[in-house]
Structure 1
Amino acid sequence: MSGHRHGHSCEGDHDHDETPEMGLQYSLYQKIDKENLECLNEAVEGSGKEVFKTWEDRLNTVKIVESDVDEELLFNIPFTGNIKLKGIIVAGRDDESHPSKMRLFKNRPHMTFDDARIKADQEFELHHDTQANLEYATKVVTFSSVYHLTIHFPSNFGSDSTHILYIGLRGEWQEAHHHGVTICTYEARPNVADHKADVNPDSLTHEIL
């Protein structure tokens, strides 16, 4: 399956799950601007924020999100800086309510379900994962400078509603650098009638600084 790999062994020993290293790797939740995080179609308001939690708390079955009117969920996730996203873990229940597909969009704030009809930057077919064992590796080149991530779960394995226990984000964070915005006005395709000289519009090139 494209873009999928095991974050660690799915069989037997899980002692290393609790190591500090795993907690550090999946600490990007701390860089989420939770005040402005949006979860569309959540049954309980604010519950979508609860699934972005510590590694140690990832299997907490109280802090979950459930979809409302149908099986779709959409998360708009702003960050406090720029991240390089390397992998995602999605844990759910061992039943039909587990999401079956995940679609990622980079730097498109406030997306809606209608907006999500466009082609995603990356898509994954998901497996049942109740223990947060499976990591889905992202295209690092595509997700190397992300200030906003949208995650769309369009379907599950057959239930009327979708349940998610945990979403883990692995990668790097750096402080955003804010530069002044320079607005340049230029003629994209001049009207020949507006120019005294004979100009072929198709021969013009423009350099945007």
Structure 2
Amino acid sequence: MSHGHIHRGAGCHCAAKWGEPPEQRSPAYGLYLRINLERLQCLNESCEGSGLLIFKLREERTDGSKFVENDADEQLLFNIPLTGNVKLKVIIIMGEDDDSQPSEMRLYKNIPQMSFDDIDRELDQTFSLNPDLTGEEYTTEMSCFPNVYPFSIHSSKNFGADTTKVSYIGLRGEWTELRRHEVTICDYEASANPANHRVHQVTPQTHFIS
């Protein structure tokens, strides 16, 4: 099935297929354990905390019992902080078997605590999504996402329903640990005060994927 991708910004062009050998498409390249879930944000969710539940292991992707639904209009915005630098390669986004599935996904990188006021900024890549219940892979343009720390997914519209539902978001790519000076620069507080913002130095933890 072809993707019908639309691209805006940075001269990105989306590859139709992942050109890497099969061994590099294994679940070992999944980034679920590289997401800082304590700081993940979902804006416009109808049930507080539900956006966190859709980031789960790949083998749980078809479990639709956990989902996030928007509170108003069709939009959802996910701010996804990571525990290190990531070369983002693949995104999977799944929803219900109806018109509430997302039909467009817009990606922004390295904008901490992005809000809906920021969606008019230049984005890095846009995908037109296909109706999907199996986990279709959308391959990012490597030159746009070679060194990502936080990034955001804006689900901007669906296939015609009043609300949008998402049941799974999966990420794949290459992860490298932050160097100490990068942690000092990139770390931010969930409720920062711009007038009195202190940068805290943290020690990143290494997780091993079995």
Give me the TM-score of the superposition, normalised by structure 1: 0.75
Distance 2:155 2:146 in 1: 22
Residues 132-186 of structure 1: CA deviation (Å, up to 9, x unaligned): 1x1111011211110001000110011111011111101010100122889xxxx
Alpha-carbon offset, residue 43 of structure 1:
1.0
Alpha-carbon offset, residue 86 of structure 1:
0.5
Say which of 86, 89, 97 aligns to 1:86: 89
- Within 5 A, what are the aligned runs for 1:130-169? 130-132=133-135, 134-169=136-171
Say which one has the larger Rg: 1
Q: Give the match for residue 76 of structure 1.
A: 79
Distance 1:176 1:4 in 2: 28
| Pairs aligned (count) | 168
Mapped contact 1:101–1:124 kept (Cα < 8 A): yes
Residues 2-59 of structure 1: CA deviation (Å, up to 9, x unaligned): 426467xxxxxxxxxxxxx64323x201111111000000111111111111011111
Q: Give the match for residue 23 of structure 1.
A: 27
* Structure 2 unmatched ranges of 5 or more: 6-13, 19-24, 186-210
Question: Which letter does structure 2 place at the counterpart of 1:78?
Answer: P
Distance 1:49 1:24 in 2: 21
Alpha-carbon spacing, 1:147–1:102, altered in 2? closer, same or farther (3 Å) = same
Distance 2:78 2:66 in 1: 16
Distance 1:169 1:117 in 2: 24
Distance 1:4 1:156 in 2: 23
Q: Which sits farther off after the overlay, 172-181 or 45-54?
A: 172-181
- Within 5 A, what are the aligned runs for 1:101-112? 101-112=104-115
Give me the TM-score of the superposition, normalised by structure 2: 0.75
Alpha-carbon offset, residue 60 of structure 1:
1.0
Alpha-carbon offset, residue 94 of structure 1:
2.0
* Structure 1 unmatched ranges of 5 or more: 8-20, 183-209
**Aligned-residue RMSD, C-alpha:** 2.0
3-state SS of 2:38 partner = helix
Distance 1:130 1:6 in 2: 19
Distance 1:138 1:35 in 2: 25
Q: Give the match for residue 206 of structure 2.
A: none
Q: Percent identity?
A: 49
3-state SS of 2:52 partner = helix
**Structure 1 runs (4+) greater than 3 angstroms displaced:** 4-7
3-state SS of 1:146 partner = coil
